[in-house]
Structure formats: structure tokens, C-alpha cells
Amino acid sequence: MVSKLITLVFFCLFLIGCNNYDKKNEITISVKVVDSYTKHPRINDTVTVRQAKWNIPLRKYVEIGQYVTDSLGMVTLKINKEKRYSFETDGPNFAFGSDEYGEGELKNNQIIVIKVIPPDKKQFKIE
């Protein structure tokens, strides 16, 4: 009976310790999406956040959420600073922008700015 109780106590302490580790690495960031020409915020664009996971032999990105920009062109979220992330934004008429950050590159309360080239301003070279 005593050994079961001791095992249960160690197991609970282990779970609490794992939970605190994640909270210690949690930071809040904001992603701001702007038009690259006018510098105005892009409203109602979808920001897709993906986290890198190792998949033998390559790394793959797993989607962890989709967020819609507010009237300031921003979304705010909590992430683990020890992970690698990819941020992609999609808007009307195939407007697109992206950015990627490695482990430890992002800081608490950092604002990431993603500049989107409007579809009518894109220039393609076909050779």
C-alpha cells in the first residue's frame, strides 16, 4: 500500500514538472499582416501557423492553428519559444505571404510583420 502511494506521488510530481516546463517556454507573439506597397494592415486574412516536427529522414510542418486578422491586421497567440515555426498568410485573390523562425529566435511580446504583395502587383517572369 505504501509503495503504491509513493509511486503515485512521484507520478504526480512528474506530471506537474512536465506541465511547468511547457509554461516556462511559453511566449506571446503577434503576427501583423500588411500590404507591401501601401503598408496598410490586411484585414480578414487567414494566418496559418505550423510547427516543425522531425519525421525521419526530413522535417515536416504540422498545422497548429489558423487565425483571422483583426481590424489592425494582427493576430496574437501563445507558442513555445523552443520550437521552430512557419507563419503563412492567405488573403483574397491569392494574396500570400510567409515567414519562418527557428528555435529560440522569437521573444516574448515580439511582433512579426508579414508583408503581402497584392495579386495585381505581382510580376512573373516567364522565360
Segments making up each domain of the chain, as ranges: 27-119
Tens of pLDDT, residue by residue over 40-89, are 999 999 999 999 988 788 888 999 999 999 999 999 999 999 999 999 99
> Is residue 95 predicted with pLDDT exceeding 70?
yes
CATH number for the region 27-119 comes to 2.60.40.1120
pTM for the full predicted model = 0.75
Biggest distance spanned by C-alpha atoms of the chain: 78
Tens of pLDDT, residue by residue over 110-120, are 999 999 987 77
Supply the pLDDT for residue 120: 76
Least confident of 5-9, 30-34, 46-50, 90-94: 5-9
Supply the pLDDT for residue 24: 85
Length, in residues, of the chain: 127
Q: With contact defined as beta carbons under 8 Å apart, do 77 and 49 qualify?
A: yes
The gap from C-alpha 69 to its chain's centroid, in whole angstroms, comes to 14
Is the omega angle on the peptide bond into residue 92 within 30 degrees of 0, that is, cis?
no
